[in-house]
Structure 1
Amino acid sequence: MFRRIGLGTVLLMTTLTAFAAGPFGGNPPKRSPVSGQDGQLSAADIKKLASVRRATAKYFDVQAATDAGYVAGGPCVPQMGTHYVNMAKIANPSIVPEDPEILLYDGDGHLVGVEYLVLYDGPVPVDTWDGHGSCTTPSSLVGPPPGLPGLTTAPLLFGSNFDGPMLDHGELAPLGVCHFDFHVWVWRANPLGVTAHQNPLVSCAAELD
Protein backbone atom coordinates (compact mmCIF):
# COMPACT_ATOMS: atom_id res chain seq x y z
CA MET A 1 0.00 0.00 0.00
CA PHE A 2 2.80 2.44 0.90
CA ARG A 3 4.46 1.96 -2.46
CA ARG A 4 1.41 3.51 -4.11
CA ILE A 5 1.87 6.85 -2.32
CA GLY A 6 3.37 9.36 -4.71
CA LEU A 7 5.81 12.18 -4.01
CA GLY A 8 3.04 14.78 -4.23
CA THR A 9 1.11 13.06 -1.47
CA VAL A 10 4.20 12.89 0.73
CA LEU A 11 4.89 16.61 0.23
CA LEU A 12 1.27 17.47 0.99
CA MET A 13 1.23 15.44 4.20
CA THR A 14 4.55 16.99 5.26
CA THR A 15 3.09 20.45 4.72
CA LEU A 16 -0.07 19.55 6.63
CA THR A 17 1.94 18.31 9.59
CA ALA A 18 4.06 21.46 9.69
CA PHE A 19 1.04 23.72 9.32
CA ALA A 20 -0.78 21.98 12.15
CA ALA A 21 2.08 22.73 14.50
CA GLY A 22 2.34 26.35 13.47
CA PRO A 23 -0.72 28.53 14.06
CA PHE A 24 -1.14 27.56 17.69
CA GLY A 25 2.33 27.77 19.17
CA GLY A 26 2.21 31.32 20.49
CA ASN A 27 -0.01 34.21 21.48
CA PRO A 28 -1.96 35.55 18.48
CA PRO A 29 -2.89 39.23 18.45
CA LYS A 30 -5.88 40.28 20.53
CA ARG A 31 -9.17 40.98 18.88
CA SER A 32 -10.95 44.22 19.77
CA PRO A 33 -12.95 43.79 23.00
CA VAL A 34 -15.95 45.43 21.33
CA SER A 35 -16.00 42.90 18.53
CA GLY A 36 -18.28 39.91 18.86
CA GLN A 37 -20.32 41.17 21.79
CA ASP A 38 -23.26 38.97 22.72
CA GLY A 39 -25.63 41.89 22.15
CA GLN A 40 -24.86 41.81 18.41
CA LEU A 41 -26.21 38.29 18.04
CA SER A 42 -29.53 37.86 16.28
CA ALA A 43 -32.21 35.42 17.37
CA ALA A 44 -31.08 33.14 14.54
CA ASP A 45 -27.48 33.37 15.77
CA ILE A 46 -28.49 32.43 19.30
CA LYS A 47 -30.41 29.45 17.96
CA LYS A 48 -27.39 28.41 15.89
CA LEU A 49 -25.11 28.70 18.93
CA ALA A 50 -27.39 26.28 20.75
CA SER A 51 -27.01 23.83 17.88
CA VAL A 52 -23.20 24.18 18.07
CA ARG A 53 -23.37 23.33 21.77
CA ARG A 54 -25.48 20.26 21.08
CA ALA A 55 -23.16 19.13 18.29
CA THR A 56 -19.95 19.55 20.31
CA ALA A 57 -21.14 18.22 23.68
CA LYS A 58 -19.82 14.82 22.61
CA TYR A 59 -16.29 16.24 22.84
CA PHE A 60 -16.32 16.95 26.59
CA ASP A 61 -13.88 14.06 26.87
CA VAL A 62 -10.62 14.85 25.04
CA GLN A 63 -10.38 11.18 24.08
CA ALA A 64 -13.60 11.55 22.10
CA ALA A 65 -11.99 14.42 20.21
CA THR A 66 -8.86 12.43 19.40
CA ASP A 67 -11.00 9.48 18.32
CA ALA A 68 -12.72 11.84 15.88
CA GLY A 69 -9.43 12.95 14.31
CA TYR A 70 -8.55 16.02 16.39
CA VAL A 71 -4.89 16.33 17.37
CA ALA A 72 -3.25 18.73 19.84
CA GLY A 73 -1.72 21.45 17.67
CA GLY A 74 0.73 22.82 20.22
CA PRO A 75 1.02 23.87 23.85
CA CYS A 76 -1.77 25.58 25.74
CA VAL A 77 -2.15 29.26 24.76
CA PRO A 78 -3.14 31.64 27.59
CA GLN A 79 -6.70 32.96 27.24
CA MET A 80 -7.37 30.41 24.51
CA GLY A 81 -6.40 26.95 25.70
CA THR A 82 -5.04 23.93 23.91
CA HIS A 83 -6.09 23.75 20.27
CA TYR A 84 -7.14 20.31 19.05
CA VAL A 85 -6.98 20.53 15.28
CA ASN A 86 -8.68 18.42 12.62
CA MET A 87 -6.65 18.85 9.44
CA ALA A 88 -9.20 17.00 7.30
CA LYS A 89 -11.72 19.70 8.20
CA ILE A 90 -9.24 22.51 7.51
CA ALA A 91 -8.68 21.02 4.07
CA ASN A 92 -12.34 21.82 3.32
CA PRO A 93 -12.89 25.61 3.10
CA SER A 94 -16.62 25.26 3.83
CA ILE A 95 -17.65 26.63 7.23
CA VAL A 96 -20.09 24.34 9.05
CA PRO A 97 -20.88 25.79 12.51
CA GLU A 98 -21.74 22.39 14.00
CA ASP A 99 -18.53 20.86 12.65
CA PRO A 100 -15.62 23.09 13.79
CA GLU A 101 -12.05 22.67 12.58
CA ILE A 102 -10.64 23.17 16.09
CA LEU A 103 -11.73 22.36 19.65
CA LEU A 104 -10.43 24.41 22.60
CA TYR A 105 -9.64 22.91 26.01
CA ASP A 106 -8.42 24.69 29.15
CA GLY A 107 -5.50 23.56 31.30
CA ASP A 108 -7.72 21.17 33.19
CA GLY A 109 -8.97 19.46 30.04
CA HIS A 110 -12.38 21.15 30.01
CA LEU A 111 -13.93 21.94 26.64
CA VAL A 112 -14.30 25.74 26.58
CA GLY A 113 -14.98 26.65 22.97
CA VAL A 114 -14.51 25.98 19.29
CA GLU A 115 -12.55 27.65 16.55
CA TYR A 116 -13.19 27.87 12.83
CA LEU A 117 -10.19 28.20 10.51
CA VAL A 118 -9.86 28.59 6.76
CA LEU A 119 -6.70 29.34 4.81
CA TYR A 120 -6.22 32.62 2.98
CA ASP A 121 -5.91 32.30 -0.79
CA GLY A 122 -6.17 35.94 -1.90
CA PRO A 123 -3.78 38.33 -3.61
CA VAL A 124 -0.28 38.67 -2.19
CA PRO A 125 1.33 40.66 -0.79
CA VAL A 126 -1.39 41.88 1.56
CA ASP A 127 -1.05 43.41 5.01
CA THR A 128 -2.12 41.16 7.85
CA TRP A 129 -4.91 42.25 10.16
CA ASP A 130 -2.59 42.69 13.14
CA GLY A 131 0.00 44.73 11.26
CA HIS A 132 2.78 42.24 12.03
CA GLY A 133 3.73 41.50 8.45
CA SER A 134 2.25 40.62 5.11
CA CYS A 135 1.08 37.46 3.41
CA THR A 136 4.08 37.33 1.10
CA THR A 137 5.50 33.89 0.41
CA PRO A 138 8.11 32.27 -1.78
CA SER A 139 6.70 31.61 -5.24
CA SER A 140 6.33 27.92 -4.44
CA LEU A 141 4.15 28.70 -1.40
CA VAL A 142 1.97 31.58 -2.58
CA GLY A 143 -1.45 31.14 -1.04
CA PRO A 144 -2.23 28.06 1.05
CA PRO A 145 0.02 25.01 1.18
CA PRO A 146 -0.12 22.85 -1.98
CA GLY A 147 -3.39 20.97 -2.36
CA LEU A 148 -5.32 22.99 0.23
CA PRO A 149 -8.00 25.43 -0.94
CA GLY A 150 -8.63 28.75 0.77
CA LEU A 151 -10.80 31.87 0.63
CA THR A 152 -9.99 35.36 -0.62
CA THR A 153 -12.14 37.26 1.90
CA ALA A 154 -13.03 36.72 5.55
CA PRO A 155 -16.15 34.61 6.09
CA LEU A 156 -19.03 35.91 8.22
CA LEU A 157 -20.38 33.93 11.16
CA PHE A 158 -22.64 34.89 14.09
CA GLY A 159 -22.78 38.51 12.94
CA SER A 160 -18.99 39.04 12.79
CA ASN A 161 -16.27 38.57 10.20
CA PHE A 162 -13.47 36.10 10.80
CA ASP A 163 -10.18 37.61 11.97
CA GLY A 164 -7.52 37.80 9.31
CA PRO A 165 -5.85 37.25 7.07
CA MET A 166 -3.20 36.71 9.71
CA LEU A 167 0.24 35.20 9.61
CA ASP A 168 0.88 31.80 11.08
CA HIS A 169 1.85 32.35 14.72
CA GLY A 170 4.48 29.65 14.99
CA GLU A 171 7.30 28.02 13.11
CA LEU A 172 5.89 28.78 9.65
CA ALA A 173 5.55 32.55 10.23
CA PRO A 174 8.63 33.35 8.08
CA LEU A 175 6.97 31.57 5.14
CA GLY A 176 4.01 33.93 5.19
CA VAL A 177 1.27 31.29 5.30
CA CYS A 178 -1.91 33.12 6.24
CA HIS A 179 -5.37 32.15 7.43
CA PHE A 180 -8.67 33.45 8.79
CA ASP A 181 -9.90 32.21 12.16
CA PHE A 182 -12.84 32.75 14.51
CA HIS A 183 -13.31 31.70 18.14
CA VAL A 184 -16.69 30.92 19.67
CA TRP A 185 -16.85 30.41 23.44
CA VAL A 186 -19.85 28.11 23.59
CA TRP A 187 -18.67 26.25 26.72
CA ARG A 188 -17.03 29.01 28.80
CA ALA A 189 -18.54 32.43 29.59
CA ASN A 190 -16.49 35.30 28.16
CA PRO A 191 -16.77 38.89 29.45
CA LEU A 192 -15.45 40.11 26.09
CA GLY A 193 -18.23 38.41 24.15
CA VAL A 194 -19.05 34.94 22.90
CA THR A 195 -17.07 35.47 19.66
CA ALA A 196 -14.15 37.51 21.03
CA HIS A 197 -10.72 36.37 19.90
CA GLN A 198 -9.52 35.67 23.46
CA ASN A 199 -11.18 34.72 26.73
CA PRO A 200 -9.62 35.98 29.99
CA LEU A 201 -11.49 33.25 31.90
CA VAL A 202 -9.57 30.46 30.14
CA SER A 203 -6.46 29.37 32.03
CA CYS A 204 -3.68 27.01 31.05
CA ALA A 205 -3.21 26.00 34.69
CA ALA A 206 -5.17 23.19 36.25
CA GLU A 207 -8.25 24.80 37.77
CA LEU A 208 -9.69 24.30 41.22
CA ASP A 209 -13.39 23.64 40.92
Structure 2
Amino acid sequence: MRRFLTGVLCALAAATVAALAAAAISPSGAAPQFVAAAVPSPAPSAPGPPDQRSLPAGTPAPLPDPRVTPAALAGQLARLRASTDRYASPRAAVRDGFLPAPTCVELPGSGGVGYQYVRPAHVADGVVDALRPEALVYVPTAQGRRLGAVAYLATDRDQDLATDGDRPTLFGRAFDGPTPGRDAMPVHYHLHVWAYTQNPVGIFAPFNPRVSCTVRY
Protein backbone atom coordinates (compact mmCIF):
# COMPACT_ATOMS: atom_id res chain seq x y z
CA MET A 1 0.00 0.00 0.00
CA ARG A 2 2.83 2.42 0.84
CA ARG A 3 4.38 1.85 -2.60
CA PHE A 4 1.01 2.46 -4.29
CA LEU A 5 0.44 5.73 -2.43
CA THR A 6 3.95 6.91 -3.26
CA GLY A 7 3.27 6.13 -6.90
CA VAL A 8 0.03 8.11 -6.84
CA LEU A 9 1.68 11.16 -5.29
CA CYS A 10 4.55 11.10 -7.76
CA ALA A 11 2.30 10.38 -10.72
CA LEU A 12 0.16 13.47 -10.29
CA ALA A 13 3.27 15.62 -10.22
CA ALA A 14 4.67 13.75 -13.20
CA ALA A 15 1.42 14.01 -15.15
CA THR A 16 1.41 17.79 -15.06
CA VAL A 17 4.98 17.89 -16.33
CA ALA A 18 4.33 15.28 -19.04
CA ALA A 19 1.39 17.33 -20.24
CA LEU A 20 3.71 19.89 -21.86
CA ALA A 21 7.07 18.13 -22.18
CA ALA A 22 8.25 14.90 -23.75
CA ALA A 23 11.60 14.98 -21.98
CA ALA A 24 12.89 14.96 -18.41
CA ILE A 25 11.80 18.09 -16.52
CA SER A 26 12.81 19.10 -13.01
CA PRO A 27 10.39 20.26 -10.32
CA SER A 28 11.76 23.43 -8.70
CA GLY A 29 14.98 22.72 -6.87
CA ALA A 30 15.06 18.99 -7.66
CA ALA A 31 17.04 16.76 -9.98
CA PRO A 32 15.30 15.58 -13.19
CA GLN A 33 12.98 12.71 -12.32
CA PHE A 34 9.82 12.86 -14.45
CA VAL A 35 10.09 11.52 -18.00
CA ALA A 36 7.34 11.27 -20.61
CA ALA A 37 7.54 7.89 -22.34
CA ALA A 38 8.50 7.86 -26.01
CA VAL A 39 5.52 6.52 -27.96
CA PRO A 40 4.42 6.94 -31.60
CA SER A 41 2.81 10.36 -31.99
CA PRO A 42 -0.74 10.56 -33.40
CA ALA A 43 -1.56 12.86 -36.28
CA PRO A 44 -1.42 16.45 -34.98
CA SER A 45 -4.68 18.17 -34.24
CA ALA A 46 -5.45 21.76 -35.17
CA PRO A 47 -3.80 24.28 -32.81
CA GLY A 48 -5.98 25.66 -30.08
CA PRO A 49 -5.70 27.43 -26.74
CA PRO A 50 -3.13 25.78 -24.43
CA ASP A 51 -5.80 24.07 -22.33
CA GLN A 52 -7.19 22.32 -25.44
CA ARG A 53 -3.97 20.95 -26.97
CA SER A 54 -3.35 17.22 -27.10
CA LEU A 55 -0.59 15.67 -25.02
CA PRO A 56 2.75 14.81 -26.63
CA ALA A 57 2.29 11.21 -25.44
CA GLY A 58 -1.09 9.58 -25.91
CA THR A 59 -4.25 10.26 -27.88
CA PRO A 60 -5.43 13.82 -28.66
CA ALA A 61 -8.08 15.15 -26.29
CA PRO A 62 -11.35 16.30 -27.90
CA LEU A 63 -12.27 19.96 -27.73
CA PRO A 64 -14.67 21.11 -24.98
CA ASP A 65 -18.28 19.97 -25.35
CA PRO A 66 -20.19 22.86 -26.99
CA ARG A 67 -23.35 21.71 -25.22
CA VAL A 68 -21.95 22.94 -21.90
CA THR A 69 -22.83 26.62 -22.06
CA PRO A 70 -20.88 29.27 -20.14
CA ALA A 71 -23.83 29.59 -17.75
CA ALA A 72 -23.92 25.84 -17.14
CA LEU A 73 -20.16 25.75 -16.58
CA ALA A 74 -20.39 28.63 -14.12
CA GLY A 75 -23.02 26.72 -12.15
CA GLN A 76 -20.91 23.54 -12.11
CA LEU A 77 -17.86 25.45 -10.92
CA ALA A 78 -19.91 27.15 -8.20
CA ARG A 79 -20.97 23.73 -6.90
CA LEU A 80 -17.36 22.56 -7.00
CA ARG A 81 -16.23 25.55 -4.96
CA ALA A 82 -19.03 25.03 -2.46
CA SER A 83 -17.84 21.45 -1.90
CA THR A 84 -14.14 22.33 -1.58
CA ASP A 85 -14.16 25.75 0.12
CA ARG A 86 -13.46 24.01 3.43
CA TYR A 87 -9.99 23.12 2.14
CA ALA A 88 -8.76 26.71 1.93
CA SER A 89 -6.04 25.67 4.38
CA PRO A 90 -3.71 22.73 3.66
CA ARG A 91 -4.18 21.69 7.28
CA ALA A 92 -7.87 21.12 6.64
CA ALA A 93 -7.00 18.96 3.64
CA VAL A 94 -4.57 16.84 5.64
CA ARG A 95 -7.13 16.37 8.41
CA ASP A 96 -9.53 15.03 5.78
CA GLY A 97 -7.08 12.49 4.38
CA PHE A 98 -5.24 14.38 1.63
CA LEU A 99 -1.50 13.61 1.53
CA PRO A 100 0.98 16.24 0.27
CA ALA A 101 3.36 15.46 -2.59
CA PRO A 102 6.95 16.28 -1.60
CA THR A 103 7.74 18.80 -4.35
CA CYS A 104 6.36 21.96 -5.89
CA VAL A 105 5.93 21.49 -9.65
CA GLU A 106 6.98 24.20 -12.10
CA LEU A 107 7.94 24.19 -15.79
CA PRO A 108 10.16 27.12 -16.83
CA GLY A 109 8.54 29.08 -19.60
CA SER A 110 5.07 27.66 -18.96
CA GLY A 111 4.40 28.40 -15.30
CA GLY A 112 3.76 26.31 -12.25
CA VAL A 113 1.27 23.98 -10.66
CA GLY A 114 2.25 24.15 -7.02
CA TYR A 115 1.88 21.49 -4.34
CA GLN A 116 -0.55 18.64 -4.97
CA TYR A 117 -2.34 16.95 -2.07
CA VAL A 118 -3.80 13.56 -3.01
CA ARG A 119 -6.62 11.73 -1.24
CA PRO A 120 -5.89 7.98 -1.69
CA ALA A 121 -9.48 6.95 -0.96
CA HIS A 122 -10.72 9.02 -3.90
CA VAL A 123 -8.09 7.51 -6.18
CA ALA A 124 -8.81 3.95 -5.12
CA ASP A 125 -12.60 4.09 -5.55
CA GLY A 126 -12.35 4.39 -9.34
CA VAL A 127 -15.14 6.99 -9.42
CA VAL A 128 -14.89 10.29 -11.31
CA ASP A 129 -16.97 12.76 -9.30
CA ALA A 130 -16.82 16.51 -9.91
CA LEU A 131 -17.45 17.21 -6.23
CA ARG A 132 -14.85 14.72 -4.94
CA PRO A 133 -11.53 15.53 -6.65
CA GLU A 134 -8.64 13.14 -6.25
CA ALA A 135 -6.28 16.00 -5.44
CA LEU A 136 -6.15 19.59 -4.26
CA VAL A 137 -3.54 21.99 -5.63
CA TYR A 138 -2.01 24.63 -3.37
CA VAL A 139 -0.01 27.51 -4.83
CA PRO A 140 2.87 29.17 -2.98
CA THR A 141 2.26 32.75 -1.86
CA ALA A 142 4.06 35.17 0.45
CA GLN A 143 1.50 34.26 3.11
CA GLY A 144 1.83 30.49 2.66
CA ARG A 145 0.14 27.84 0.54
CA ARG A 146 -3.26 28.82 -0.83
CA LEU A 147 -5.84 26.62 -2.58
CA GLY A 148 -5.59 27.32 -6.29
CA ALA A 149 -7.03 24.34 -8.16
CA VAL A 150 -8.36 20.82 -7.92
CA ALA A 151 -7.18 17.82 -9.92
CA TYR A 152 -8.93 14.66 -11.08
CA LEU A 153 -7.25 11.35 -11.81
CA ALA A 154 -8.62 8.24 -13.56
CA THR A 155 -6.87 4.98 -14.45
CA ASP A 156 -6.74 4.05 -18.15
CA ARG A 157 -8.52 0.68 -18.28
CA ASP A 158 -6.55 -0.88 -21.14
CA GLN A 159 -3.21 0.73 -20.20
CA ASP A 160 -2.64 1.58 -23.88
CA LEU A 161 -1.32 5.06 -24.66
CA ALA A 162 -2.64 4.79 -28.23
CA THR A 163 -6.32 4.41 -27.27
CA ASP A 164 -8.71 6.62 -25.33
CA GLY A 165 -12.13 4.95 -25.43
CA ASP A 166 -12.53 5.35 -21.68
CA ARG A 167 -11.42 9.00 -21.47
CA PRO A 168 -13.51 10.74 -18.76
CA THR A 169 -15.12 14.15 -19.16
CA LEU A 170 -16.05 16.74 -16.53
CA PHE A 171 -17.33 20.30 -16.95
CA GLY A 172 -17.63 19.65 -20.68
CA ARG A 173 -13.86 19.10 -20.88
CA ALA A 174 -12.21 15.78 -21.74
CA PHE A 175 -9.39 14.70 -19.45
CA ASP A 176 -5.77 15.03 -20.63
CA GLY A 177 -3.91 11.81 -21.38
CA PRO A 178 -3.46 8.94 -21.43
CA THR A 179 -0.29 9.75 -19.51
CA PRO A 180 2.47 7.25 -18.67
CA GLY A 181 2.47 6.11 -15.06
CA ARG A 182 5.30 6.02 -12.56
CA ASP A 183 6.29 3.34 -10.04
CA ALA A 184 3.03 1.77 -8.81
CA MET A 185 0.84 4.29 -10.63
CA PRO A 186 -0.60 2.94 -13.92
CA VAL A 187 -1.28 4.79 -17.19
CA HIS A 188 -3.93 7.38 -16.39
CA TYR A 189 -5.95 10.45 -17.40
CA HIS A 190 -5.92 13.72 -15.47
CA LEU A 191 -7.66 17.09 -15.43
CA HIS A 192 -6.75 20.28 -13.57
CA VAL A 193 -9.42 22.88 -12.82
CA TRP A 194 -8.19 26.29 -11.66
CA ALA A 195 -11.31 27.09 -9.69
CA TYR A 196 -9.60 29.31 -7.11
CA THR A 197 -6.81 31.06 -9.02
CA GLN A 198 -7.19 32.80 -12.37
CA ASN A 199 -5.21 31.09 -15.13
CA PRO A 200 -4.62 33.33 -18.17
CA VAL A 201 -4.07 30.32 -20.46
CA GLY A 202 -7.29 28.56 -19.48
CA ILE A 203 -9.11 27.17 -16.48
CA PHE A 204 -8.29 23.59 -17.57
CA ALA A 205 -4.64 24.16 -18.49
CA PRO A 206 -2.21 21.99 -16.50
CA PHE A 207 0.19 24.87 -15.84
CA ASN A 208 -0.49 28.41 -14.66
CA PRO A 209 1.99 31.14 -15.67
CA ARG A 210 1.00 33.10 -12.56
CA VAL A 211 2.21 30.31 -10.26
CA SER A 212 5.86 30.09 -9.21
CA CYS A 213 7.65 27.72 -6.86
CA THR A 214 10.28 30.35 -6.04
CA VAL A 215 8.01 32.34 -3.71
CA ARG A 216 9.63 32.64 -0.28
CA TYR A 217 7.32 32.63 2.72
- Is the counterpart of residue 16 in structure 1 residue 25 in structure 2? no
Which residue of structure 1 lines up, in the alignment, with residue 57 of structure 2? none
Q: In structure 1, list runs of 5 or more residues that go unmatched.
A: 1-12, 130-151
Whole-angstrom distance in 1 between the partners of 2:99 and 2:2 = 15
TM-score (normalizing by structure 2) = 0.68
Which residue of structure 2 lines up, in the alignment, with residue 126 of structure 1? 161
- Is the counterpart of residue 116 in structure 1 residue 106 in structure 2? no
Kindly tell me: are residues 95 and 24 of structure 1, through their superposed partners in 2, closer, same or farther at Cα, counting changes over 3 Å?
closer
TM superposition shift of 1:207: 6.4
The equivalences for 1:70-109 within 5 A come to: 70-78=98-106, 79-108=112-141, 109=145
**Structure number with bigger Rg:** 1
Q: In structure 2, list runs of 5 or more residues that go unmatched.
A: 22-48, 54-62, 107-111
Alpha carbons 1:84, 1:102 under 8 Å: kept? yes
1:165 to 178, 189, 195: 178
TM superposition shift of 1:196: 1.4
Give the match's secondary structure for 1:110.
strand
2:209 to 182, 200, 206: 200
Write out per-residue CA displacement over residues 148-172 of structure 1, whole angstroms, 9 at most, x where no aligned residue: xxxx61101112110111012x5x2
Kindly tell me: are residues 128 and 105 of structure 1, through their superposed partners in 2, closer, same or farther at Cα, counting changes over 3 Å?
farther
Which residue of structure 1 lines up, in the alignment, with residue 167 of structure 2? 154
Alpha carbons 2:4, 2:185 under 8 Å: kept? no
Letter in 2 for 1:23: A
Query: Which structure shows the higher strand fraction?
Result: 2
TM-score (normalizing by structure 1) = 0.71
Which residue of structure 1 lines up, in the alignment, with residue 190 of structure 2? 181
Kindly tell me: are residues 34 and 194 of structure 1, through their superposed partners in 2, closer, same or farther at Cα, counting changes over 3 Å?
closer
Whole-angstrom distance in 2 between the partners of 1:198 and 1:67 = 27
Which residue of structure 1 lines up, in the alignment, with residue 90 of structure 2? 62
Alpha carbons 2:150, 2:193 under 8 Å: kept? yes
Give the match's secondary structure for 2:201.
coil
- Is the counterpart of residue 29 in structure 1 residue 22 in structure 2? no
| % identical equivalent positions | 29
Alpha carbons 1:24, 1:75 under 8 Å: kept? no
Whole-angstrom distance in 1 between the partners of 2:127 and 2:64 = 24
2:78 to 36, 45, 50: 50
TM superposition shift of 1:114: 0.2
Quick check: 36-45 or 199-208, which moved more? 36-45
Whole-angstrom distance in 2 between the partners of 1:94 and 1:70 = 17
Whole-angstrom distance in 1 between the partners of 2:77 and 2:89 = 20
